[in-house]
Chains A and B, each alone.
Chain A
Amino acid sequence: AQSVTQLDSHVSVSEGTPVLLRCNYSSSYSPSLFWYVQHPNKGLQLLLKYTSAATLVKGINGFEAEFKKSETSFHLTKPSAHMSDAAEYFCVVSGSGNTPLVFGKGTRLSVIA
């Protein structure tokens, strides 16, 4: 069985400051991990994915995430928040092949001017 836990339901940062969205996963085998973003009234968009290659994964819009097996974590970071980053972020885990994704509960990111 696989699961993800997003440790914060809501994170608020000031524009220009770093972003950290935390995610821990549980998987009985080597997982594939993703971060998706959902802007208000928009569809889910893939930010980045980890599939057992490099442990530091770079995504779109300046986001990156580091896979840490020892900590079972896959935290999402960005050095400097922008107003347009305000959205809901989902940490997601999947097994091999085309298995359905298992979503975390989501973290709502607010960016204050």
Chain B
Amino acid sequence: GAGVSQSPSNKVTEKGKDVELRCDPISGHTALYWYRQSLGQGLEFLIYFQGNSAPDKSGLPSDRFSAERTGGSVSTLTIQRTQQEDSAVYLCASSLSKREMNEQFFGPGTRLTVL
């Protein structure tokens, strides 16, 4: 079956503009995660959705970042008033919800470049 998909694969924007990044998780996966991978910072957690529960936003770096998940499936990460330090690869992952440890399946990422 299809894996996690993300769009666009690449996004170049000007400083100050808003961007939206999209993630389509694997069908049936109730947990969805956003991570950011940047040079010098490694891979860092941003936000996590689990079913209908309130999202865990503890990893969002500033209030310019927000995310939503409509209908328990597709998610959109929005970055307002982009800054050059937002340049990174944004990764989405999804997993089944079950008691034992889940495997998170990652999408190919969206490479964001802020000029």
Instruction: Identify the A interface with B (CB < 8 A).
Output: 32, 34, 36, 42-46, 49, 51, 90, 94, 96-106
The answer to the question of B33 belonging to the interface, with a C-beta cut-off of 8 Å to chain A, is yes
Q: Specify which of A94, A97, A103, A104 lies most central, judged by the most chain B CB atoms within 10 Å of its CB.
A: A97
Distance (Å) between the CB of B19 and the closest chain A CB?
20
Q: Is the CB of A46 within 8 A of B43?
A: no
Distance (Å) between the CB of A60 and the closest chain B CB?
12
Per-residue A-contact encoding for B35-70, CB less than 8 Å = 1, 0 else: 100000011110010100000100100000000000
Instruction: Identify the B interface with A (CB < 8 A).
Output: 3-4, 31, 33, 35, 42-45, 48, 50, 56, 59, 91, 93, 95, 97, 99-109
Q: Is the CB of A102 within 8 A of B45?
A: yes
Q: Is the CB of B108 within 8 A of A100?
A: no
